[in-house]
Amino acid sequence: MFGIGRKLTATAFIILLTAVPSHLQAQAKKQVYTNAATLYTSGKMFTTVQPFQRVDTVNYKAMPAAVKRLYTYSAGLAVCFSTNSTSITAKWCVNKPVTYPNLTPIASKGLDLYVHKNGKWQYSGVGRPDKDCSNGVLVENMDNSEKSFTLYLPIYSELSSLEIGIDSGSYIKSRPETKKRVLVYGSSITEGASASRPGLAYPAALSRRLGFDFINAGVSGSAKMEPAVIAMLNDVKADAYILDCIPNSSDAVVKERALNMIKAIQAAHPGKPIIMLNSIVREQSFVDAKVNAMVKAQNMAIDSIAHNLLKIKTKDFYYLDTNGFLGDDHEGSTDGIHPNDLGSFRFVEKLQPLIEPILRKYLR
Amino acid sequence: MFGIGRKLTATAFIILLTAVPSHLQAQAKKQVYTNAATLYTSGKMFTTVQPFQRVDTVNYKAMPAAVKRLYTYSAGLAVCFSTNSTSITAKWCVNKPVTYPNLTPIASKGLDLYVHKNGKWQYSGVGRPDKDCSNGVLVENMDNSEKSFTLYLPIYSELSSLEIGIDSGSYIKSRPETKKRVLVYGSSITEGASASRPGLAYPAALSRRLGFDFINAGVSGSAKMEPAVIAMLNDVKADAYILDCIPNSSDAVVKERALNMIKAIQAAHPGKPIIMLNSIVREQSFVDAKVNAMVKAQNMAIDSIAHNLLKIKTKDFYYLDTNGFLGDDHEGSTDGIHPNDLGSFRFVEKLQPLIEPILRKYLR
């Protein structure tokens, strides 16, 4: 029934089964668990010692501490597998989870499962988090044909362990992908705030729509184009680069670092397209004059740099204006800063037709 | 900067000011606080002893305990005021707040401020909650013309106190409304799960779009049409009744209670329109065969009752099919059950043109 969502403590799970006898049959099948680290994970920047971290930060000592911490979060990672199980369950733990005012716990420390159906990726279930460790049913009562699944991991937590459960007697297989890779470096919006679940972060939505592997290099509040961070990003093997990092930097920082960042990526990855975005207009800026002035200054700074690059016909460089990407009814944000699912959907609807021709040209 | 959202503890607030010197000037103005209970509150089912509760449940002893608890929550309530202050702050406390996997804390225990601008209601700021008691800036750096505001209250918490702060030297006035009232009785979806902030619950969105006062009588998981609850609802003075209560009831409960509920409302409020909705199709039902069968059975049960009423030309009774209200891409839910802001926007876009002609006919 439409309640506030099943809590997935072991106790609540048992209560649920007791209260809903029709579920007993499916759950009577014993679940067998697989360590998700043995399955293919998409969205990885690197192969890492900790399987669900984005970067082995010990290798990049010069990066700021906040950036290092954020790259231990599993934002944008997704476990890819196929199974004929009629139900899929999960057990997972996160390190020192935090509650954020503008994020659901499902987004910050939960799981989000998609199934491939009728040629498209389709939502099929979430893992509702408890405190540090959680377990629960992601989906059940399916037929027993083999299906492909993508399981998106928490966007604002360090995931320390994940096991995927299937019916006893069924099988699970890793589903390696060999897709072209698009690195997206950006702010909390790139990382996934305020998607209601991990699969609704905009790089994940673009992966499903375009069939490329969008690598989420979003770092909430910390996308400040520091040379040490750009050097790390240049070690990531990717086929295209999207830069959505203006929102986190003052106009002075944009002037100081943006051109250096673009030049460094060009030098490290000649022939690969670089797509620079200006900052979306914050909803708060329609009522707060200082926020309004700040966003205008940020965008004037990057406009000037990008237009100079376009004027001199810089090869493989593209600049996109995100003005209007959240719609015009002011309903597309959670908090005046971060797109909600409505704003994010509109953002993707506007961004996709602009980047698709560029990516299709380079990524064949 | 785009971080994960300012936390509004007193400490964090001070840190914020220190870190963002441009904000210091606005905050240098001393704030003067007004008890929000002295201002007009829209969305009220009754005048209550506790100003931010929906029902004095002591008057309705026969209602189930879960329903009583939910009617102490401030879902759908909004404080209406005008001020010429350049900033608006708030201090508020909630009783025993709970964290829900599918809700942001802003939605469950935070505040959501709208300003009337260019003839429309527009988002202007949120109150980011801390633990039991919170305080913070909702909006700042506005001009000092008089503006009308609507402050939506927490949708999944009992609000025990609320004070609204304005610049010292400015004024705040209550803004009483005399709008026609539309009572909406329903499940968690009506109450507001999973809106990212209180103003995005669908009855609140309809209030802004249509200019009526939609009274939120949503009770998460508990909209089961019990005679004691319907008797209480019949004490609410309203001009129209929307019934979105099918999702919480089994087909057997629908068969047992729905017709009695409709007849009871007709008898208590002759000549007032009653608009019955079937259950939206749960996203989970596209992958889970048992959920699919359950929703089909619920909707067959209410279909049969409603079509009989229409067949005998029951006066002032309307029945709406919500099929497709969340779109067809399966992206419109947070957890397979509750619409996210995208699903909710689509729901309102589909519902509004169906109910508007009915309401305009009766509510003049």
DSSP string for residues in B214-247:
EEEEE-TT-----HHHHHHHTTS--SEEEEE-ST
Residue B66, C-beta contacts closer than 8 angstroms, at least 6 positions apart: B219, B221, B222
Reference A12, options A154, A135, A138, A133; nearest CA is A135
pLDDT at A358 over 60: yes
- Cβ-based neighbour number of residue B48 at 10 Å: 18
What's the rounded Cα separation, in Å, for the pair B144 and A1? 48
- What pLDDT band is residue B134 in, cutting at 50, 70 and 90? very high
**Three-state SS for B139?**
strand
H or E element at residue A95: strand A88-95
Alpha helix positions (H), chain A: 10-19, 24-28, 65-70, 105-109, 188-191, 202-210, 227-233, 251-268, 289-311, 341-362
pLDDT for the residue A2: 54
**Three-state SS for B305?**
helix
What's the rounded Cα separation, in Å, for the pair A243 and A251? 16
pLDDT for the residue B106: 98
**Three-state SS for B262?**
helix
User: HEC string of B15-74?
Assistant: HHHHHCHHHHHHHHCCEEEEEHHHCEEECCCCCCCCCCCCCCHHHCCCCCHHHHHHCCCC
- What pLDDT band is residue A187 in, cutting at 50, 70 and 90? very high
pLDDT for the residue B326: 98
pLDDT at A11 over 50: no
| Topology classification of domain A30-174 | Jelly Rolls (2.60.120)
pLDDT at A1 over 90: no
- Residues B332-347 have a mean pLDDT of 98
CB contacts, 8 Å: A122 with chain B = 286-287, 330
What's the rounded Cα separation, in Å, for the pair A348 and A351? 5
For residue B288, give the nearest of A4, A139, A156 by CB distance. A139
- For domain A181-362, say whether CATH 3.40.630.10 is its number: no
- Cβ-based neighbour number of residue A22 at 10 Å: 12
CB B356 within 8 A of CB B307: no
Taking an 8 Å cut-off on Cβ atoms, the answer to whether B335 and A106 are in contact is: yes
In chain A, where are the structural domains located?
A: 30-174, 181-362
Residues within 8 A of A (CB atoms), B 271-300 only = 283-284, 286-291
pLDDT digits 0-9 by tens, A143-161: 999 999 999 999 999 999 9
Q: What are phi and psi of B218, to 5 degrees?
A: -70, 140
B337 reaches A (C-beta below 8 A) = yes
CB contacts, 8 Å: B100 with chain A = 4-5, 104-105
Taking an 8 Å cut-off on Cβ atoms, the answer to whether A7 and B101 are in contact is: yes
- What pLDDT band is residue B7 in, cutting at 50, 70 and 90? very low
**CATH code for residues B29-174:** 2.60.120.260
- Cβ-based neighbour number of residue B109 at 10 Å: 34
pLDDT for the residue B6: 41
B154 reaches A (C-beta below 8 A) = no
pLDDT digits 0-9 by tens, B247-281: 999 999 999 999 999 999 999 999 999 999 999 99
Amino acid at A80: C
* Residues above pLDDT 70, as percent of chain B: 92
User: Angle CA(A191)–CA(A244)–CA(A336) in degrees, nearest 5?
Assistant: 65
Q: Tell me B363's DSSP state.
A: -
pLDDT for the residue A19: 33
pLDDT at A266 over 50: yes
- Residues B307-329 have a mean pLDDT of 98
pLDDT at B208 over 70: yes
Taking an 8 Å cut-off on Cβ atoms, the answer to whether A221 and B3 are in contact is: yes
Name the pairing type of β-strands A274-277 and A317-320: parallel
CB A298 within 8 A of CB A251: yes
Residues within 8 A of B (CB atoms), A 7-66 only = 7-8, 22-23, 26
User: Angle CA(A111)–CA(A109)–CA(A24) in degrees, nearest 5?
Assistant: 50
Reference A109, options A121, A123, A92; nearest CA is A92
